Structure 1
Amino acid sequence: MNTHSDIERRERLRAKREAALHRPVIARHLSDGFTGRWSRRQWAQASLFATIGMLVAAIVPGFNPQAPATVEVTRYSMALPLPPLPTARRTGQHGDSWQIVHVQRGQTLGKIFEEHGVPASTMHLLLEHPGVKPALTRLKPGTELGLDLPVNGGLRALRFDRDDSHRVELTLVGDEVRETVIERPTETRTVVISGKVGRSLYRSARKLGLTGSHVNTLTDEMFKYDIDFREDVGANDRFSVVVEQTWREGELIRTGPVLAATFTTGDKLHSGFRFERNGKPEYFTADGRSLRKSFIRMPIPYARLTSGFGTRRHPVLGTSRMHKGVDYAAGTGTPIMAAGDARVQFVGWKGGYGRAVILDHGRGYTTLYGHMSKFGNYKAGQRISQGAVIGYVGSSGMSTGPHLHYEFRVNGVHRNPLSITMPPPEPLSGAALAQFRTQTSTALERIREVENIIYADVGDESKSNERVAKKTDGAKPRPKA
C-alpha cells in the first residue's frame, strides 16, 4: 500500500517537472513557488526585463511599430539674378568705384599705383600738376588716398587731403589733369583731460587720449625743475591738461600742444601755461614767471662728478692749483648741452682746455666747456637755446681721460656751478604780461571745475584711478599760445 502510494506520488512529481520544463523561461521563473502574490525578487526580475525591452524598442527602429516611414521630400532650386552693376561703373562715370588706401610705413605713391595696376606714366602726369608733388612724394603713414578705378578702365581720378580743411581731387581727361578743391569744415574744441597717475603716468595719460609728446611736455618742459618724476610722484597724484582738438565730420583728426596743465603731488599744486614770448613758445606760472630755469646745473645728463670746485693737485702737472670748474666723467662722444640760452662767443682750441666752447648768456654770465672730442654745428656769433648740443665729450688738451670740464663765470669771476644761486629767467612784464593774463585767465578755472566734478570724493577708493572729463567751448579760434 505504501509502496503503491509512493509510486503514484513520484509519477505526479515527474509529470509536474516535465510540464514545467516545457513552459517559457520567464513564466517558469515567475511561477516557481507562486502562492498568488509576487515576491520582491520576482518584481525586480519583471522590471528589469521590461526596461530592457523598452530600451531595445527605442534604439532599434525595427522594434518600434509606430516609427514613421521615411517621407520623400521634393527639392526645388531657383535662379536669383544678381544686383546689376552700377551704371556709373559700366559707363565710366564717377560713382561708387572709389577705393580708399591708407598709406603704410615705407609705402610710396609709386608702390601704391603699382599694386592697383596704375601705370607709371599716369603717376608722372599727376605729379607734374602744380602743387601736387610736395603733397604726394612724402606720404606719411596713415595718410588717406582715394583712387577712382572703374572695372573696365584705368585710373579716372585721385583725391587726397591738402590740409585739414581742404581735399583735392585730380580728374584725368585724356592727357589733361583737372583739379577740384573740396572744402571740409573743421571744428576746434578746447578740452580738459584729467586723470590719476596710477601705476604709470605715461600709460594713464595715453589711455585718456594724450600723446607721448604731451607727456614729455609735462615731464621735460613744464615741471622737470619742480618735480622728481622718479621719486616724488605717487599713484594717487593727479594731472589735468588743456589741449585743443580738431574735429572733422565727427572724427578727431588732430590734438594740439599742451596749452595749460596742473600737476598735484600730495597737497602741492603745480601749474603752467603756454605763451609765446618773442615768437617762441614757453611755459609760465600763473603770475607770469617762466617754469624753465635760466641754467642747467649739469650739462651732461646722468654724468658722474669726478672733481669739484676749489684747490686740488693737478692730475697732469702734479702741482697744487685752483680748479676753477667742475669735471664730469662720461664716455667719449657723449653729447654736451648748452646750460642756457646764449650767444656762442668762442669755438676752437684753447690751450689746456683743448677743444672748447664759450657761451655768453647775457647779464655778465658766461660758461666754458672743455676737453671736447668734436664740436656741434654752431659757430661764433650764433644764438642757441638751452639744451642745444654744442659738442661731445673727449680728452683733448691737458686731460688724463674723457670728461667734461665745466666753468661758470659771473662778470669774469669763476663761481662754483654746483652751489651758486642761479639767476631766475626774466618774467613777463608790460604788454606781454597783460596779454598772457587775458589768454590764461579762464584756463585754471576750467581745470578746477573739471577736477571738482571728478574728484569730489577723493576718499572713495572704489573710483577708477583714471577718468576723463571734457568740456568744450564750441568752435573758437585758436589762441596764440
Structure 2
Amino acid sequence: MMKNFLAVGIFCAAIISAGCSRAPETITVEHTVSSGETLSASLSDNAITPATIAEISYNLQKVFNLRRSREGDYYKVVTSTDGMLISFSYYPQRGFEYYEIAAGDDGKFAAEGLAMDVKTTTMTARGEVKSSLWEAMASRGIDGELIIRFAELFSWQVDFLTDTREGDEFKIIWSEKVAGSGERQKRRIIEKIVAAEYINRSEKFVAVGFGNGDLDYDYYSPDGKSLRLAFLRAPLSYRRISSYFSRNRYHPVLRIYRPHHGVDYVAPAGTPVSSIGDGTLSFKGYSGGYGNLVRVRHPNGYETYYGHLSRFAKIARGSRVRQSQIIGYVGSTGVATGPHLHFEIRRGGAAMNFLALRLPSNKQVPVAYKADFGLTVEIALKRLDEIR
C-alpha cells in the first residue's frame, strides 16, 4: 500500500542582499514506494516538477542503480513552493546505506551514499507446535526468512513434513543487524542463528553455531558433529508418502505381491528432485519399470535411485553431483499410477529402508578447535536454558 506524507513548513533566514527576514515556504514530500512503481512515476504522482525529477534522477543514478528501486523503499524530497529542488533523501528497504542529494557551496547538486550506524543485537524466542512449525514460530513474531533457516538447520535430523507433532518445542537464539530509526527508515537484517533447539517426540536436537579463524561458520551438535549429514532426509518437497519400504507389498498396477525396495513420495509433476548427497551420477536414462531413472553413487558404497522422472536436469553421466543439486523432475514414467518419485538407497547392492536409516555424519570440529568449541557450547546451552 502506498504511504504518502505531505507537509508544508515555513523556515526563516536572513537574506542580506534582499534585506528580508523570511525565506520562501518549502514543501516536503515523504513517500514509500509501492509494488511496480518507478521512482520517476512516484515523484510525478506527488506533484514534483519534471525539471526536479530530472535533477534527482541525474544525480541519484551516479550512486544508486535506479533499477534496484523496490517496493518498501522510502524517500523524502524537499522543494521550494515554485518546485525547485532543495534536498532529496533515499532509503532502500534493504541494506544499511542511504543516499542524499544536496547543493554544494557552488550551488550545484551532488549525490552521495552514506552508511547508517549499524548495531548488532541478539534475540531469543521459544514456542510449542500446535499444527505446524511455521505457525508456531510465526505466532511468536518470527519472520519467514528465519523460520526457513531454522527448518533448514535441522533438515538432516527432522523431516518437518512428516515428523512434526503437536507438543514439539523449539528455542532459538539469533543475531540481527539494526540501523536507522522511525517506521520508514529503520532497517533490520537477520545475521545468523547463534544456537537452536528442537524437541521432537521427546528427542532433543541442538544446533550450535561455530567458526574460528580458518574454520567457516557452521552448525554442530554439542558433541562436535556437523549437523550437515552426508544425506538429506528427503530428496524433494513432497505432499505425502504413498508407499513405504516393504519386503512384500501389493503392487497397484501389476496386481501382485513383491518387494518394494524404496519410498514413493507423492508430489506434483515437475517438482524438482535433488540428490540427497555428494556423489557421481552413475546412470541417467530409461530403465524398465523405473521409467526415467537417475542413479547417484556416493562414498562408502552407497547408491541412490530416483525413478519415474518426467525429465532430467542438464547433467551428464559421470559428472560430480553436490548435495541438494537438482537432478530431475517428478513424473509418472515407467510403471506408475500417477506423479511421484520412487526413491531407493542401496549399499553394496543391498536395498535399505531409508526412513529407518541412521544417516552418517559429514564431519566433526577439528581437534585444533575443540577447546574453543567446548566453551562456545557451554555458553550456548546456558543461554538456551535461560529462554523462558
Partner in structure 2 of residue 180 of structure 1: 112
* Matched residue type, 2:224: G
- Between the aligned partners of 2:337 and 2:179, the Cα distance in structure 1 is 62
Q: Which moved more, 1:222-231 or 1:108-117?
A: 222-231
Show the counterpart of 1:240. Answer: 171
The code of the aligned residue for 1:86 comes to F
Aligned to 2:344: 407
Following TM superposition, by how much is the alpha carbon of 1:296 offset from its aligned partner in structure 2, in angstroms?
4.3
Q: Contact 2:263 / 2:343 at 8 angstroms: preserved in 1?
A: yes
Residue equivalent to 1:370 = 307
Are 1:85 and 2:10 matched, yes or no? yes
Q: Please point out which of 99, 111, 125 is paired with 1:168.
A: 99
Q: Tell me the amino acid that sits aligned with residue 294 of structure 1.
A: A
Deviations 1:128-171 (A, max 9, x none): 42x321xx322233222222222122334332247755432123
Shift of 1:305: 3.6
Write out per-residue CA displacement over residues 12-44 of structure 1, whole angstroms, 9 at most, x where no aligned residue.
xxxxxxxxxxxxxxxxxxxxxxxxxxxxxxxxx
TM-score by length of 1: 0.60
Q: Report the Cα offset of residue 373 of structure 1.
A: 0.8
- Is the contact made by 2:131 and 2:166 (CA closer than 8 Å) also made in structure 1? no
Q: Distance in 1 between matches of 2:172 and 2:256?
A: 56
Are the counterparts in 2 of residues 285 and 291 from structure 1 also a CA contact under 8 Å?
Answer: yes
Task: Look up the match of 2:230.
Answer: 294
Residues 1:345 and 2:281 aligned together: yes
2:197 is equivalent to residue 259 of structure 1: no
Partner Cα distance (1:212, 1:84) in 2: 40
Asked if 1 retains the 8 angstrom alpha-carbon contact of 2:310 and 2:333, the reply is yes
Partner Cα distance (1:408, 1:210) in 2: 36
Match of 2:76 in 1: 146
Q: Deviation at 1:364?
A: 2.4
Matches within 5 A, 1:426-465: 426-431=363-368, 433-434=370-371, 436-448=373-385, 450-451=386-387, 454=388
Contact 1:166–1:181 (CA<8 Å) still a contact in 2? Answer: yes
Kindly, what percent of the aligned residue pairs are identical?
Answer: 22
How far apart are the structure 2 equivalents of 1:193 and 1:170? 41
SS in 1 for 2:361: coil
SS in 2 for 1:244: strand
AA aligned opposite 1:256: E
Q: Could you say which structure has the higher strand fraction?
A: 2
Greater helix share, structure number: 1
Verify: 1:159 aligned to 2:89, yes or no. Answer: yes
Q: How far apart are residue 413 of structure 1 and its match?
A: 4.3
2: distance between equivalents of 1:317 and 1:203? 42
1-structure distance, mates of 2:338, 2:221? 43
Unmatched tracts of structure 1, length 5 or more: 1-82, 455-481
Query: In the alignment, is the contact (CA less than 8 A) between 2:233 and 2:276 conserved in 1?
Result: no
Work out the CA distance in 1 between the residues paired with 2:220 and 2:299.
21
Question: Kindly tell me: are residues 84 and 390 of structure 1, through their superposed partners in 2, closer, same or farther at Cα, counting changes over 3 Å?
Answer: closer
Q: Does structure 1 retain, via aligned residues, the 8 Å contact 2:249–2:260?
A: no
Task: Call closer, same or farther: CA 1:172–1:343 in 2, change over 3 Å.
Answer: farther
Alpha-carbon deviation of 1:189?
A: 1.9
In structure 2, how many angstroms separate the alpha carbons of the residues matched to 1:84 and 1:394? 65
CA deviation map 1:333-379 (0-9, x unaligned): 15253352224515642442442222233232221212211123555
Q: How does 1:9-88 map to 2 (within 5 A)?
A: 85-87=10-12
Aligned residues: 362
1:259 is paired with a residue of what secondary structure? strand
TM-score, normalised by the number of residues in structure 2 = 0.72
Indicate the RMSD between aligned Cα atoms, in angstroms. 4.5
Q: Give, in whole Å, the separation in 2 of the partners of 1:245 and 1:431.
A: 29
Instruction: Note the residue ranges of structure 2 that are not aligned, 5 or more in a row.
Output: 1-7
From 136, 143, 157, give the equivalent of 1:225: 157
